[in-house]
Homo-oligomer: A and B are copies of this chain.
Amino acid sequence: MKSVQWHDTHITILNQQALPHKTEYLELKNIKDVWDAIVTLKVRGAPAIGMTAAYGLALAAKSYETNDLAQFHAELKRDRDYLASSRPTAVNLFWALDRLMKSVAQAKSVNEAKTTLIHEAICIQVEDEDVCRRIGEHALSLFQDGDRIMTICNAGAIATARYGTALAPFHLAKEKGMTLHAYACETRPVLQGARLTAWELSQAGVDVTLITDNMAAQTMKAKHISAVIVGADRIAANGDTANKIGTFGLAILAKAFRIPFYVAAPLSTIDLQTKTGDDIPIEERAKEEVTHIGGVRIAPDVNVYNPAFDVTPHELITGIITEKGIIFGDYATKLPTLFEEVFA
């Protein structure tokens, strides 16, 4: 069962908030359900958010009663903006929604537009699986049998159509009979590493060791970590990368230990309109994510700073792994060429 799936009258998603306790699928029946599922992190991971939002827009459009194309486009724009407001940092969300908007710009009828939106959303998901496999193949070329690789958050199969981005090499290595040892940072406050990555990789038979986030330095030293690989929520034109909070710190540690630090992400994560990391808005979330775990209070009611993401400056990134290959440094020059080739 896929983590996101289109069913014509609704969308089903794997409820990532219920993991690892319960493997539960939720039906999203309207655009409000979709928006809520994204905001409450029931669906998460930049590519999965993009897919879900795309299906959400197609589902919303399906219910419009008008036959007037101008009216249709006005309603579509309203719903696009509503879904785009669900989370500010991940660019795949905007990329997927805008791809759908563009797909119906020339539509000749409302019916054609409705069908096109569904088709385009399905295409995004189908392509994502292929993209993730390619990312995984490129990433795997960097690693050797027995390597010990650290990751944070969950840039995994459940965050994408399949395989994941940062976790793709672990899944592909397993398919090929090669051994990679994963070290998963638990990723407070929402614990995506503990709840999702540890679960996903152990389900897939990958050797995975869980650590708390503050054990990263000691683990790099004591366990001779070979490399760090992470996903991305947005990559700016100069290579600066927004990803789950904690990524920036891991990149600094990796440099101190002279360990390569890789970002694995699809082209849809690269936003050439965003010049540098300073232009990426960093979502701050509710203090209760930090002061409570599983509904239980773990801290007194004090001030909390809860940024959901941080930006890793490009100079700390050894390579950016995309479906089109790996770029090592000089991102400002090289990132645009990935797009030229695609559209050539």
Contacts and interface: CB of A to CB of B under 8 A. Distances in A.
Contacts of A189: 212
B249 A290 contact: no
Interface in A206-262: 207-219, 221-223, 245-246, 248-249, 252-253, 255-256
Nearest to A246: B214
A198 B298 CA distance: 11
B217 A300 contact: no
B214 A152 contact: yes
Interface of A (DSSP majority class): mixed
B210 A303 contact: yes
Interface string A163-186: 000000000000000000001011
Interface in A266-296: 282, 290-291, 293-294, 296
A215 B299 CA distance: 16
A213 B191 CA distance: 12
B304 A217 contact: no
B291 A210 contact: yes
Interface in A70-124: none
27 contacts: A20-B297, A20-B300, A186-B290, A186-B298, A186-B299, A191-B298, A194-B298, A195-B299, A198-B302, A202-B302, A208-B303, A209-B303, A209-B305, A212-B213, A212-B245, A212-B306, A214-B214, A214-B246, A215-B246, A215-B306, A217-B252, A218-B307, A221-B248, A222-B305, A256-B256, A294-B296, A294-B298
A18 to B, nearest CB: 13
Contacts of A195: 298-299
Interface of A: 20-21, 152, 183, 185-189, 191, 194-195, 198-199, 202, 207-219, 221-223, 245-246, 248-249, 252-253, 255-256, 282, 290-291, 293-294, 296-300, 302-307, 310
B245 A207 contact: no
A222 B307 contact: yes
Contact of A245 (B198, B214, B253, B296): B214
Nearest to A256: B252
A297 B123 CA distance: 38
A211 B305 contact: yes
Nearest to A202: B302
A308 to B, nearest CB: 10
B249 A216 contact: yes
A214 B250 CA distance: 9
Contact of A211 (B152, B221, B290): B290
